[in-house]
Amino acid sequence: MPQSAPGDLVSVYVTERRRRHARGEIVRLLESGSARVTPPCPVFGRCGGCAWQHVDYTQQLVSKQTILRDAMQRIGRIPLAELPTIVASPSAYAYRGRTRLLERDGAVGYRERGSHALCALRACPILMPELDRRLGVLADEVAASVQPGEREWELALGRPGDVRATSLASGQAPSPADRIALEVGIDTLELSPGTFAQGNSMLLDMLHQTVCSRVGEGDSLLELFAGAGFFSLALARCFAHVQLVESDAGAVEDLRANLSRAGLMNVVVTPLCAEVAIPDRIERVPDVVLLDPPRAGLDPAVLRCLAALDPDRIVYLSCDPATLARDVARLLPHGFVLRSLEGFDLFPQTPHVEALAVLVREDVA
């Protein structure tokens, strides 16, 4: 229930009754539970960005482990003997290295919770300090040049001290000069405005190392949803043949530029939707498949083709436990077992949790 914390005693107005559950709105907080803390942000509760600042960080981690286990059990019908492990963010605030903001009527901010209204901001405690300062400057710039209509801004942090604020005006193709550089392992990844990048600056290395180690090494790797190559550059050194599938044109340009700068010649880039690429554009049967789809997860056709490709291992990174549970449950009957499931807290102060599942073929398990 929004704004409640584990252990709270609340008075509730029931708005919807179902056979096995009911929905309601909190009328009054009668007694605070031990997990309730004072949110540091003055717009918490109104801003749509964070939902859990009133919950102690240790409790947030336990709740995310429970969300992950419950999704596997309820949606996937996959029993887990224990709660999955979760990697905490080294900092529960000041972690975010990239964000999108809305500009409207001379102000900039996020949407209000449950509304299209703008929650104007000059600061945001989950942003990395450099981005937070840049947000204050952007708020001044926008106030000084009130423009009609609304536009979206992206604030991004590259190498330490390298901050970019870009207006994502529709129809404008980003130029290579707009790219920002991120150090990942031994590689430099250049990213254009609008290209996806993992959001928690403090966990980038940990996520990168863990995913690469779960993928391992071998002859042939297929990576679907490759983005600008966050995992692909390192993995291309661990496999003889690599095929990368990505549908976003901007991300594909960045990906090709990143591969070329790293001198990686053993990689084929397929600039198509996974749904189009996987039925008949796969160049070689993969030993391992890496998946990192958007929240919607995998299209049923992609799942069927994946199962038919029959890889030894599927490594699935997901930002949505529900679609991950659904997809894992659909893959298991094709002869796979779930070898591991682990969480990463990329988004403290929100209910979001990133999860990494490794499936292996029963006969190689």
Ligand X SMILES: C[S@@+](CC[C@H](N)C(=O)[O-])C[C@H]1O[C@@H](n2cnc3c(N)ncnc32)[C@H](O)[C@@H]1O
Q: For residue 26, is it left (φ>0), alpha (ψ between -120 and 50) or beta?
A: beta
At 116, is the secondary structure helix, strand, or coil? coil
By CB under 6 A, is residue 248 in contact with ligand X? yes
Distance CA 144, CA 48 (A): 25
By CB under 6 A, is residue 222 in contact with ligand X? no
Closer to ligand X at the Cβ: 335 or 351? 351
Catalytic site residue from 41, 47, 212, 319: 319
The answer to whether residue 50 is catalytic is no
At 106, is the secondary structure helix, strand, or coil? coil
By CB under 6 A, is residue 226 in contact with ligand X? yes
- In the list 274, 341, 356, 357, the residue contacting ligand X (rule: CB under 6 A) is 274
By CB under 6 A, is residue 294 in contact with ligand X? yes
By CB under 6 A, is residue 246 in contact with ligand X? yes
Which residue has the CB atom at the shortest distance from ligand X? 227
Output the smallest distance, CB 84 to ligand X, in A. 20
- How many residues touch ligand X under the rule CB under 6 A: the total is 19
Output the smallest distance, CB 200 to ligand X, in A. 12
Stretch that binds ligand X, among 160-168, 177-185, 193-201, 354-362 (CB under 6 A): 193-201
Closer to ligand X at the Cβ: 70 or 275? 275
Please, what is the end-to-end C-alpha distance for the chain in angstroms?
A: 40
Closer to ligand X at the Cβ: 102 or 272? 272
By CB under 6 A, is residue 257 in contact with ligand X? no
- In the list 52, 110, 153, 225, the residue contacting ligand X (rule: CB under 6 A) is 225
Stretch that binds ligand X, among 168-176, 288-296, 307-315, 352-360 (CB under 6 A): 288-296
DSSP H or E stretch at residue 190: strand 187-191
Output the smallest distance, CB 173 to ligand X, in A. 16
By CB under 6 A, is residue 247 in contact with ligand X? yes
The answer to whether the CB of 233 falls within 8 A of the CB of 208 is no
Q: What is the DSSP letter of 96?
A: B
CA 180 to each of CA 103, 261, 346: distance values in angstroms, whole numbers, following the listed order = 22, 14, 21
The answer to whether the CB of 349 falls within 8 A of the CB of 52 is yes
Work out the angle between the directed axes of helices 300-309 and 321-331 (0-180°, nearest 10): 40
CA 246 to each of CA 221, 277, 334, 340: distance values in angstroms, whole numbers, following the listed order = 14, 9, 25, 26
The answer to whether the CB of 128 falls within 8 A of the CB of 96 is yes
Output the smallest distance, CB 315 to ligand X, in A. 11
Stretch that binds ligand X, among 61-69, 77-85, 145-153, 270-278 (CB under 6 A): 270-278
Give the helix, strand, coil percentages of the chain, each rounded to 5.
Answer: 30, 30, 40
**Residue numbers annotated as active site:** 319
Which residues of the shown chain bind ligand X in the complex (CB under 6 A)? 196-198, 225-227, 230-231, 245-248, 251, 273-275, 292-294
